[in-house]
Amino acid sequence: MATEYPIVLVHGIVLKDIAFIRAFGRIGRALEAAGNSVSTADTDGFGTIETNALLLKAHILRVLETTGAEKVNLIAHSKGGLDAKYMLGRLGMAEKVASLTTLSTPHRGAKIATWIFHLPRPLTKFIAFWVDFWYRLFRDKHPDSLAVCRELQASPNAAIDGLTVPANVYCRSYSTTLKRGRDDFIMGIPYLITRRLEQAPSDGLVSVQSAAFGNYRGDAFECSLSHTEVAGFSLKKKNRARVCAFYCGLAEELAALGF
């Protein structure tokens, strides 16, 4: 069963559509194969919450104009959920969005961001300069990795604590848990740092508690799955079909609700 409204996938930091790399891997194609209208928001890989919210708004308006639909469904990964919340609460887009689903979004920040932000300032500025340099080459319009790190610090943090979603938008959220660092080569080192900082289950970057928002559904998977894997990146073959099926299940539930 396909959704009534188009689905817009909203990526977080780092991952974005670059050449042959897709922010959500094969997930978009799986959703389209199930009959859904799908697009990936053209937001920056290292844009701030505010600038990405503006880019997301522009993308949604283009989708609505192209499809003739009245609303869209948002499925957002990681910081993409914060971008979407800012857009809905502060940019007057609540009437054009039927639902918001967030996956591994740091609604209460991430302690690893706090840890990075408080490294020696010359080091963080050096790293941020080169991250922003490369992401401009990757078509980021307003990269500002240092500001993004500041925004994603663990609460209390005004940048994310004040983000609310109007009641007329259906909201649900999911977390994921990486059970062992060796389960994902890419996320292994961040997992070790996060495990020490959070003292709580996490997906390698975002704790389970921070991912909870709105109608929180718990972990999306019983198996060990990392922050990047739930977005379709670096997926092991055994999990690829499972993750794609999960997204199709999200769409089927939205369709059953009339969205």
Q: How many CA atoms lie within 13 A of 243 on its CB side?
A: 26
pTM: 0.95
Asked if the structure places residue 1 within a domain, the reply is no
pLDDT averaged per 10 residues, the chain (length 259): 95 86 90 96 96 98 97 98 96 96 96 92 95 94 95 78 89 95 87 88 94 94 93 84 95 96
CA distances from 9 to 41, 60, 223, 235 (A): 6, 11, 23, 18
How far apart CA 156 and CA 248 sit, in angstroms, is 35
Per-residue pLDDT, 122: 95
Per-residue pLDDT, 156: 64
Asked if the structure places residue 175 within a domain, the reply is yes
Question: CATH number of the domain that 106 lies in?
Answer: 3.40.50.1820
Asked if the structure places residue 50 within a domain, the reply is yes
Per-residue pLDDT, 17: 79
**pLDDT, tens digit, 9 for 90 and up, residues 170-226:** 999 999 999 988 888 888 889 989 988 988 899 999 999 999 998 999 999 999 999
Asked if the structure places residue 109 within a domain, the reply is yes
Per-residue pLDDT, 1: 79
What is the number of domains present in the chain?
1
Question: Where do we find the tokens 């073959």?
Answer: 237
Asked if the structure places residue 94 within a domain, the reply is yes
Asked if the structure places residue 37 within a domain, the reply is yes
Nearest Cα neighbor of 219 from 106, 104, 89, 50 is: 104
Asked if the structure places residue 2 within a domain, the reply is no
CA distances from 252 to 102, 113, 244, 248 (A): 16, 34, 12, 6
Asked if the structure places residue 145 within a domain, the reply is yes
User: What is the span of the domain harbouring residue 235?
Assistant: 7-256
